[in-house]
Amino acid sequence: MNSKNWKPETQAVHCGWTPKNGETCQLPIFQSTAYKYSDAQSVADLFDLKSDGFFYTRLANPTVAAFETKVAEMEGGVAAVGVTAGQTANMLAIMNVCPCGGHVLASAALYGGTVTLFTMTLKRMGVEVTMVPHDATADEIVAAARPNTRALFAETLTNPSVCVLNFEAYSEAAKRLGVPLIVDNTFATPYLCRPFDYGADIVTHSATKYLDGHQTSIGGVIVEKGDFDWKNGNFPEFTEPDVSYHGLIYTKDFPAAPFSTKLRVQWVRDTGAILPPMNAFLISLGMQTLALRMDRHSSNALEMAKFLKAHPKVAWVNYPGLEDSPEHERCKKYLRAASGVLCFGAVGGKEASVRAIDSLKLASIVVHVADVRTMVLHPASMTHRQLSDEQLAAAGVPPDLIRLSVGIENIDDIKADFEQALAKI
Ligand X SMILES: *Cc1c(COP(=O)(O)O)cnc(C)c1O
Q: Rule CB under 6 A: which residues touch ligand X?
A: 85-87, 111, 113-114, 155, 159, 184, 186-187, 206, 208-209, 218, 220
Tell me whether residue 78 or residue 218 sits nearer to ligand X (CB atom): 218
Tell me whether residue 114 or residue 119 sits nearer to ligand X (CB atom): 114
DSSP-derived pairing of the beta strands 402-405 and 103-107: unpaired
CB of 203 to ligand X, least distance (A): 12
CB of 12 to ligand X, least distance (A): 20
Tell me whether residue 209 or residue 262 sits nearer to ligand X (CB atom): 209
CB of 216 to ligand X, least distance (A): 12
Tell me whether residue 213 or residue 220 sits nearer to ligand X (CB atom): 220
Residues 42, 47, 50: CA angle, nearest 5 degrees: 70
- What b-and-e string marks burial along 299-323, b requiring 16 or more CB atoms within 10 Å of the CB? bbbbbbbebbbebebbbebbbbbbe
CB of 310 to ligand X, least distance (A): 28
Burial (Cβ within 10 Å: 0-12, 13-18, ≥19) of residue 48 = exposed
Tell me whether residue 181 or residue 411 sits nearer to ligand X (CB atom): 181
CB of 370 to ligand X, least distance (A): 7
Q: Which helix (H) or strand (E) holds 113?
A: helix 112-116
d(CA 379, CA 387): 10
CB of 176 to ligand X, least distance (A): 26
d(CA 321, CA 330): 10
Tell me whether residue 93 or residue 136 sits nearer to ligand X (CB atom): 93
Tell me whether residue 145 or residue 222 sits nearer to ligand X (CB atom): 222
Residue 317, C-beta contacts closer than 8 angstroms, at least 6 positions apart: 305, 308, 309, 342, 343, 344
Residues 322, 327, 331: CA angle, nearest 5 degrees: 80
Distances (CA, A) of 112 to 138, 167, 384, 395: 24, 21, 5, 8
Tell me whether residue 77 or residue 86 sits nearer to ligand X (CB atom): 86
Tell me whether residue 17 or residue 111 sits nearer to ligand X (CB atom): 111
d(CA 318, CA 223): 29
CB of 13 to ligand X, least distance (A): 24
Tell me whether residue 159 or residue 318 sits nearer to ligand X (CB atom): 159
DSSP character string of 162-193: -PBP-HHHHHHHHHHHT--EEEE-TTTHHHH-
List the end-to-end C-alpha distance of the chain, in Å, as a whole number.
Answer: 57
CB of 212 to ligand X, least distance (A): 9
d(CA 194, CA 334): 8
Comparing every residue's Cβ against ligand X, the nearest one is 86
- The amino acid at 375: M
CB of 261 to ligand X, least distance (A): 24
d(CA 304, CA 318): 11
CB of 333 to ligand X, least distance (A): 20
* CA of residue 210 relative to chain centroid, distance: 10
